[in-house]
Amino acid sequence: MMKKYKIAAIPADGVGVEVIDAGLEVLHAIEKRDGRFECEVEKFNWGSQLYRQTGEMMPTDGVQQLRSFDAILFGAVGAPDIADHITLWGLRLAICQTLDQYANVRPTRILPGIQSPLRNVDGNMLDWVILRENSEGEYSGQGGRTHKGLPEELATEVSIFTRAGITRIMRYGFELAQSRPRKLLTVVTKSNAQRHGMVLWDEIAAEVAEEYPDVTWDKMLVDAMTVRMTLDPASLDTIVATNLHADILSDLAAALAGSIGIAPTANINPQRAFPSMFEPIHGSAFDITGKGVANPTGTFWSIVMMLAHLGEQEASERLMSAIEHMTAQPGCRTPDLGGSANTADVTKAVVDALR
């Protein structure tokens, strides 16, 4: 029987539009190759253009409209003429928080043919999954500003750490580590300087660790973590960190694995009460928008994660192999990887590999 999935596509801004077009081409190719499922894709024209027309990044009932989908494929938001906190909170964070996509999973690996800026490091030595707490912490949106424009103007940006929020992300982290061959988890913290929230974070990590005796785990201060990622990448496997810490570490990870254009991410609602959302980690990249040279690999890899989440394991693995087949070809490097291929060349190479 043919399975059917309803996919919401939100290309949004800048290169988001280009990489989602490429991604949908690849999605339809894998669907055809597999022959056992069909994706019915609905596109939403939300984003900065809509904001310029209506003052809103998406309609008031936008998130409600997404609830009936099986998964969401997201491009990127951000425009040079609109403040970043408006575009980000108006669309991406509004979706993640309302659909309780609290686990943000970010695999990082050096794909075949891709050169890491780290000397002598390849895919055997750098194979990580970073798990980002995606619903609270430093990006909970708590705070305010008073006395605007006056010398005594002040602003607060309050981090929120809850027992429930930390416990669920730690469990997800230990389970993710348990599902990987090395069963190794590093808990990133900053409890030396942040002596309330991060201390609770550490305590709950230790409590949850007792439920997973087969997982080896350690704790690392976030600043020292940047050094370890750079100098001893093979000592890491699964990593769990707060919303802010993981945001920064995963950009570093993406760069160490060759380019921010390759890295994927999944915003998961583990209970499956709401659809999960899949997206490349990069932003709208206005510096290259419209040139047709955006690297779509991060979007393709996000589709790999989406297919796995939907239960299409075989199609997911087949698509990953096609991506690796593409990256191994010297002619398939976009400018971010030092080559001169464009988005269409890379997309065609993956589609051809799937046939």
Q: Which residues bind ligand NAI (CB under 6 A)?
A: 15, 19, 76-78, 84, 88, 92, 260-261, 282-285, 287-288, 294-295, 298, 334, 336
CB of 208 to ligand NAI, least distance (A): 28
CB of 156 to Mg ion, least distance (A): 22
CB of 310 to ligand NAI, least distance (A): 21
One-letter amino acid of 91: L
Of 190 and 245, CB closest to Mg ion? 245
247 binds, among Mg ion, ligand NAI, none (CB under 5 to 8 A by kind): Mg ion
Of 77 and 326, CB closest to ligand NAI? 77
Residue nearest to ligand NAI (CB): 78
Number of neighbours of residue 348 by Cβ within 10 angstroms? 18
CA atoms within 13 A on the CB side of 348: 8
CB of 138 to ligand NAI, least distance (A): 16
CB of 220 to ligand NAI, least distance (A): 24
304 binds, among ligand NAI, Mg ion, none (CB under 5 to 8 A by kind): none
342 binds, among ligand NAI, Mg ion, none (CB under 5 to 8 A by kind): none
88 binds, among Mg ion, ligand NAI, none (CB under 5 to 8 A by kind): ligand NAI
Please say whether the beta carbons of 323 and 350 come within 8 A: yes
Of 290 and 311, CB closest to ligand NAI? 290
284 binds, among Mg ion, ligand NAI, none (CB under 5 to 8 A by kind): ligand NAI
Of 135 and 295, CB closest to ligand NAI? 295
Of 282 and 348, CB closest to Mg ion? 282
Of 62 and 197, CB closest to ligand NAI? 62
Of 182 and 291, CB closest to ligand NAI? 291
CB of 309 to ligand NAI, least distance (A): 18
How far apart, in whole angstroms, are the C-alpha atoms of residue 233 and residue 229? 5
Q: Which residues bind Mg ion (CB under 5 A)?
A: 247
CB of 131 to ligand NAI, least distance (A): 17
